[in-house]
Amino acid sequence: MTKQPIISVKNLVKKYGDFTAVNDISFDVYEGEIFGLLGPNGAGKTTTLEVIETLRDKTSGEVMVNGFSVDKNPDAIKKCIGVQLQAAGYYPNLNLSELIVLFSGLYGIKKTPKEMLEKVALVEKSKAKYKDLSGGQKQRFSIATTLINDPKIIFLDEPTTGLDPQARRNLWDLIREIRERGTTVVITTHYMDEAEVLCDRVAFVDGGRIVGIDSPDAFIDKLVASGFERKKEVKSANLEDVFINLTGKEWREE
């Protein structure tokens, strides 16, 4: 089966005044994959995502999402994507159930809080306010809100930043489950270990350009085949393993 691009970005350029934040970027995202945009702060990842999400105008280039052009059909694109909102977007005094009802209403879609909260293992927190959730629960809730309109693609911008190792792993499992149900996932992250275990393919972005795009395994194999060797011998465990070992099972109640 040939892979179908569900997102196609061609020669995307975004300038803020004289500054070129995205400098002639081209890539495809295939249907059903977890695709990672990796790179340092200021590389242009968020700007690229925002153009694809139809939230930001581009300077030039062509972007197609699920067969629709960001120029000609932004409303059709909005209907088939889910975008993770920043925490500040939530009403502080509503509980999770009420927030789901609110968002469903905004989309004009009937979804019960239970069915949405079940998807992210937060049914027990349905009466809790967003501000009282742990960091991992907040991220899971915001992912639930991206799923209300049954999107074909969801966009997650650094969803695990600031989470502890177990909460990160919980979130990876959740993201994999969402992909198993058929949703394409586009994610940005600074964590290379995360990209290595989670993403089917990654694009490295630096200074507004893509400097490499491939699967994590292919990147690593190519580097090793080129004669690269790590200076230090690799330890058979790391501090994160120690942390998880000391604090108990990987899955814990947050």
* Interaction site with ligand ATP (CB under 6 A): 16, 19, 21, 39, 41-47
Which CB atom, from 62 or from 206, has the smaller least distance to ligand ATP?
A: 206
Number of helices (H) and strands (E), helices first, in the chain?
9, 10
**What separation, in Å, do the N-terminal and C-terminal C-alpha atoms of the chain show?**
41
Which CB atom, from 86 or from 236, has the smaller least distance to ligand ATP?
A: 86
Contact 154, 176 (CB under 8 A): no
The CB-of-205 to ligand ATP minimum distance in angstroms stands at 6
The CB-of-139 to ligand ATP minimum distance in angstroms stands at 16
**In which residue are the tokens 């927190």 written?**
125
In what helix (H) or strand (E) does residue 147 lie, and over which residues does it extend? none
Which CB atom, from 42 or from 182, has the smaller least distance to ligand ATP?
A: 42
Q: Phi/psi zone of residue 228: left (φ > 0), alpha (ψ -120 to 50 degrees), beta?
A: beta
The CB-of-87 to ligand ATP minimum distance in angstroms stands at 15
Of 239, 235, 101, 250, nearest in space to 172 by CA = 250
The CB-of-192 to ligand ATP minimum distance in angstroms stands at 13
